[in-house]
Amino acid sequence: MLNKVAFLLVLVPFIIVVMASDPDPINDFCIANSEDTSFSCKNSSTATVEDFTFSGIKYPGNFKKTGFSSVAVNSNIFPGLNTLGVSFVRADFDVGGVNVPHLHPRATEVAFVLEGKIYSGFVDTKNKVFAKVLEKGEVMVFPRGLVHFQMNVGDGHATILGSFDSQNPGLVRIPNAVFGSEINEELLEKAFGLSSKELSRLKKRFSPS
Ligand SMILES: *[C@@H]1O[C@H](CO)[C@@H](O)[C@H](O)[C@H]1NC(C)=O
Protein backbone atom coordinates (compact mmCIF):
# COMPACT_ATOMS: atom_id res chain seq x y z
CA MET A 1 0.00 0.00 0.00
CA LEU A 2 2.72 2.41 1.08
CA ASN A 3 4.66 1.53 -2.06
CA LYS A 4 1.67 2.38 -4.22
CA VAL A 5 1.33 5.78 -2.55
CA ALA A 6 5.02 6.49 -3.01
CA PHE A 7 4.79 5.48 -6.66
CA LEU A 8 1.83 7.83 -7.20
CA LEU A 9 3.65 10.70 -5.49
CA VAL A 10 6.57 10.22 -7.87
CA LEU A 11 4.20 10.12 -10.83
CA VAL A 12 2.17 13.25 -10.01
CA PRO A 13 4.65 15.84 -11.38
CA PHE A 14 4.80 13.97 -14.70
CA ILE A 15 1.03 13.85 -14.96
CA ILE A 16 0.95 17.62 -14.42
CA VAL A 17 3.57 18.14 -17.16
CA VAL A 18 1.47 16.11 -19.60
CA MET A 19 -1.60 18.21 -18.77
CA ALA A 20 0.26 21.45 -19.53
CA SER A 21 -0.45 21.44 -23.29
CA ASP A 22 -3.78 21.54 -25.12
CA PRO A 23 -5.61 18.23 -24.70
CA ASP A 24 -5.48 15.65 -27.49
CA PRO A 25 -8.49 15.72 -29.81
CA ILE A 26 -10.96 12.83 -29.66
CA ASN A 27 -12.50 13.51 -33.10
CA ASP A 28 -11.12 14.22 -36.60
CA PHE A 29 -12.12 17.81 -35.97
CA CYS A 30 -14.47 19.88 -33.83
CA ILE A 31 -15.28 23.14 -35.59
CA ALA A 32 -16.32 25.42 -32.78
CA ASN A 33 -19.91 26.56 -32.87
CA SER A 34 -19.45 30.31 -33.18
CA GLU A 35 -22.77 30.92 -31.40
CA ASP A 36 -21.46 29.74 -28.04
CA THR A 37 -18.31 30.23 -26.03
CA SER A 38 -18.13 26.71 -24.58
CA PHE A 39 -16.57 25.46 -27.84
CA SER A 40 -19.11 22.75 -28.55
CA CYS A 41 -18.61 21.17 -31.98
CA LYS A 42 -20.56 22.09 -35.07
CA ASN A 43 -22.41 19.08 -36.53
CA SER A 44 -19.58 17.43 -38.51
CA SER A 45 -21.83 16.40 -41.40
CA THR A 46 -22.40 20.09 -42.15
CA ALA A 47 -18.64 20.88 -42.33
CA THR A 48 -17.26 22.30 -45.59
CA VAL A 49 -13.78 23.21 -46.77
CA GLU A 50 -14.53 26.81 -45.78
CA ASP A 51 -14.43 25.69 -42.13
CA PHE A 52 -10.77 24.72 -42.60
CA THR A 53 -9.54 27.80 -44.46
CA PHE A 54 -9.03 31.39 -43.33
CA SER A 55 -8.41 34.49 -45.45
CA GLY A 56 -8.04 37.09 -42.72
CA ILE A 57 -4.25 37.43 -42.93
CA LYS A 58 -3.94 37.61 -46.70
CA TYR A 59 -3.05 41.28 -46.29
CA PRO A 60 -1.15 43.07 -43.52
CA GLY A 61 -3.06 44.75 -40.71
CA ASN A 62 -2.88 48.52 -40.30
CA PHE A 63 0.73 48.95 -39.17
CA LYS A 64 1.12 52.53 -40.42
CA LYS A 65 -0.35 54.20 -37.34
CA THR A 66 1.88 52.66 -34.64
CA GLY A 67 4.56 51.00 -36.79
CA PHE A 68 3.27 47.55 -35.88
CA SER A 69 0.20 45.40 -36.34
CA SER A 70 -0.55 41.80 -35.44
CA VAL A 71 -3.46 39.57 -36.31
CA ALA A 72 -3.82 36.54 -34.05
CA VAL A 73 -5.33 33.55 -35.84
CA ASN A 74 -6.56 31.47 -32.91
CA SER A 75 -9.63 29.29 -32.37
CA ASN A 76 -11.68 32.36 -31.43
CA ILE A 77 -11.49 33.79 -34.95
CA PHE A 78 -10.78 30.56 -36.88
CA PRO A 79 -13.14 28.00 -35.29
CA GLY A 80 -11.68 25.18 -37.42
CA LEU A 81 -8.59 25.22 -35.16
CA ASN A 82 -10.64 24.16 -32.15
CA THR A 83 -9.20 21.06 -30.37
CA LEU A 84 -6.26 20.83 -32.81
CA GLY A 85 -3.66 22.37 -30.48
CA VAL A 86 -2.17 24.89 -32.92
CA SER A 87 -2.66 28.50 -34.02
CA PHE A 88 -0.62 31.31 -35.50
CA VAL A 89 -0.15 35.05 -35.89
CA ARG A 90 0.79 37.44 -38.68
CA ALA A 91 2.74 40.52 -37.63
CA ASP A 92 3.74 43.45 -39.84
CA PHE A 93 6.31 46.12 -39.03
CA ASP A 94 6.95 49.52 -40.56
CA VAL A 95 10.60 50.62 -40.65
CA GLY A 96 11.68 50.84 -37.01
CA GLY A 97 8.39 49.29 -35.80
CA VAL A 98 8.38 47.45 -32.48
CA ASN A 99 6.50 44.46 -31.08
CA VAL A 100 6.70 45.38 -27.38
CA PRO A 101 7.96 42.85 -24.81
CA HIS A 102 5.15 40.33 -24.36
CA LEU A 103 4.50 36.69 -23.54
CA HIS A 104 2.10 33.87 -24.37
CA PRO A 105 1.15 32.02 -21.17
CA ARG A 106 -0.04 28.86 -22.92
CA ALA A 107 2.28 28.32 -25.90
CA THR A 108 5.75 28.12 -27.33
CA GLU A 109 6.08 30.20 -30.51
CA VAL A 110 8.14 29.57 -33.63
CA ALA A 111 8.47 32.78 -35.64
CA PHE A 112 9.46 32.81 -39.32
CA VAL A 113 10.66 36.00 -41.02
CA LEU A 114 8.69 36.20 -44.24
CA GLU A 115 10.06 39.60 -45.25
CA GLY A 116 12.58 42.04 -43.84
CA LYS A 117 15.17 42.11 -41.10
CA ILE A 118 14.04 41.72 -37.51
CA TYR A 119 15.96 42.14 -34.26
CA SER A 120 14.34 39.40 -32.23
CA GLY A 121 14.84 37.93 -28.79
CA PHE A 122 13.58 36.65 -25.45
CA VAL A 123 14.56 36.83 -21.77
CA ASP A 124 14.83 33.74 -19.58
CA THR A 125 13.98 33.52 -15.88
CA LYS A 126 17.56 34.47 -14.97
CA ASN A 127 17.08 37.72 -16.95
CA LYS A 128 19.52 36.55 -19.60
CA VAL A 129 18.68 37.92 -23.06
CA PHE A 130 18.96 35.79 -26.19
CA ALA A 131 18.66 38.13 -29.17
CA LYS A 132 19.97 38.68 -32.68
CA VAL A 133 19.00 40.12 -36.04
CA LEU A 134 17.07 37.60 -38.15
CA GLU A 135 17.10 37.81 -41.93
CA LYS A 136 14.30 36.87 -44.29
CA GLY A 137 13.72 33.09 -44.18
CA GLU A 138 15.17 32.62 -40.68
CA VAL A 139 13.31 31.25 -37.69
CA MET A 140 13.42 31.81 -33.93
CA VAL A 141 11.72 29.91 -31.13
CA PHE A 142 10.31 31.68 -28.06
CA PRO A 143 9.86 29.17 -25.22
CA ARG A 144 6.44 29.06 -23.58
CA GLY A 145 5.69 31.90 -21.18
CA LEU A 146 8.98 33.77 -21.63
CA VAL A 147 9.05 37.49 -22.41
CA HIS A 148 10.03 38.20 -26.03
CA PHE A 149 10.25 41.19 -28.38
CA GLN A 150 10.98 42.24 -31.97
CA MET A 151 11.97 45.36 -33.91
CA ASN A 152 12.25 46.00 -37.63
CA VAL A 153 15.88 47.03 -38.16
CA GLY A 154 15.77 46.83 -41.96
CA ASP A 155 15.03 49.66 -44.37
CA GLY A 156 11.67 48.33 -45.60
CA HIS A 157 8.42 46.79 -44.40
CA ALA A 158 8.84 43.49 -42.50
CA THR A 159 6.49 40.56 -41.89
CA ILE A 160 6.68 37.58 -39.60
CA LEU A 161 4.49 34.51 -39.17
CA GLY A 162 4.41 32.98 -35.71
CA SER A 163 3.01 29.53 -34.99
CA PHE A 164 1.91 28.28 -31.57
CA ASP A 165 1.41 24.87 -29.96
CA SER A 166 -1.93 25.95 -28.52
CA GLN A 167 -5.23 26.85 -30.17
CA ASN A 168 -5.41 29.83 -27.81
CA PRO A 169 -1.90 30.88 -26.66
CA GLY A 170 -2.99 34.08 -24.90
CA LEU A 171 -1.10 37.39 -25.10
CA VAL A 172 0.25 39.54 -22.25
CA ARG A 173 1.88 42.77 -23.43
CA ILE A 174 4.10 43.78 -20.52
CA PRO A 175 3.64 47.60 -20.76
CA ASN A 176 -0.14 47.26 -21.10
CA ALA A 177 -0.45 44.66 -18.35
CA VAL A 178 1.54 46.90 -15.99
CA PHE A 179 0.57 50.45 -16.95
CA GLY A 180 -2.65 49.93 -18.92
CA SER A 181 -4.46 47.99 -16.23
CA GLU A 182 -5.89 49.29 -12.96
CA ILE A 183 -2.98 48.34 -10.69
CA ASN A 184 -2.78 50.66 -7.66
CA GLU A 185 -0.84 53.84 -8.59
CA GLU A 186 1.10 54.13 -5.34
CA LEU A 187 2.25 50.54 -5.81
CA LEU A 188 3.41 51.23 -9.38
CA GLU A 189 5.25 54.42 -8.36
CA LYS A 190 7.10 52.53 -5.63
CA ALA A 191 7.76 49.44 -7.74
CA PHE A 192 9.23 51.38 -10.68
CA GLY A 193 10.62 54.44 -8.88
CA LEU A 194 8.33 56.82 -10.81
CA SER A 195 6.93 60.22 -9.92
CA SER A 196 3.17 60.53 -10.28
CA LYS A 197 3.74 62.66 -13.39
CA GLU A 198 5.89 59.99 -15.00
CA LEU A 199 3.35 57.33 -14.09
CA SER A 200 0.43 59.22 -15.59
CA ARG A 201 2.36 59.65 -18.85
CA LEU A 202 2.92 55.87 -19.01
CA LYS A 203 -0.68 55.12 -18.03
CA LYS A 204 -1.94 57.38 -20.81
CA ARG A 205 0.35 55.71 -23.34
CA PHE A 206 -0.56 52.11 -22.51
CA SER A 207 -4.20 52.30 -21.45
CA PRO A 208 -6.70 50.77 -23.87
CA SER A 209 -7.93 53.55 -26.16
C1 LIG B 1 -26.14 16.30 -38.14
O2 LIG B 1 -26.62 16.66 -39.41
C3 LIG B 1 -27.18 15.56 -40.12
C4 LIG B 1 -27.51 16.03 -41.55
O5 LIG B 1 -28.16 17.28 -41.52
C6 LIG B 1 -28.41 15.04 -39.36
O7 LIG B 1 -28.95 13.91 -40.03
C8 LIG B 1 -27.97 14.63 -37.95
O9 LIG B 1 -29.09 14.23 -37.19
C10 LIG B 1 -27.25 15.77 -37.27
N11 LIG B 1 -26.71 15.29 -36.01
C12 LIG B 1 -26.90 15.92 -34.85
C13 LIG B 1 -26.23 15.32 -33.66
O14 LIG B 1 -27.57 16.94 -34.77
Tens-place pLDDT, residues 143-185:
999 999 999 999 999 999 999 999 999 999 999 999 999 999 9
Residue 113 lies inside a defined structural domain of this protein: yes
In tens, the pLDDT along 124-138 reads: 999 999 999 999 999
What's the confidence (pLDDT) of residue 25?
Answer: 83
Q: What separation in Å is there between the alpha carbon of 26 and the centre of ligand 1?
A: 19
Residue nearest to atom 13 of ligand 1 (CA): 43
Task: Please report the pLDDT score of residue 28 as a whole number.
Answer: 84
Give mean pLDDT, residues 65-76.
94
Please check whether residue 121 lies inside any domain of the structure.
yes
Please report whether residue 3 resides in a domain. no
d(CA 68, CA 46) in angstroms, rounded, equals 38
Domain range for 100 is: 69-170
What is the mean predicted confidence (pLDDT) over 92-102? Answer: 98
Rounded Cα gap, residues 22 and 92, in angstroms = 27
CA 105 to chain centre: 8
Query: How many structural domains is the chain composed of?
Result: 1
Closest to 157 in 3D by CA, of 114, 99, 110: 114
Residue 110 lies in a domain: yes
Q: Looking at residue 33, what is its pLDDT?
A: 86
Nearest residue by C-alpha to atom 10 in ligand 1: 43
Q: Can you give the CATH number for the domain in which 131 is found?
A: 2.60.120.10
- Is residue 86 included in any domain, yes or no? yes
Residue 41 beta carbon below 6 angstroms from any ligand 1 atom: no
The span from the first CA to the last CA of the chain, in angstroms, equals: 60
- The whole-number average pLDDT for the span 34-57 is 87
Residue 108 within a domain: yes
Q: Which pLDDT belongs to residue 7?
A: 57
Q: Ligand 1 centroid vs 43 CA: distance in angstroms? A: 6
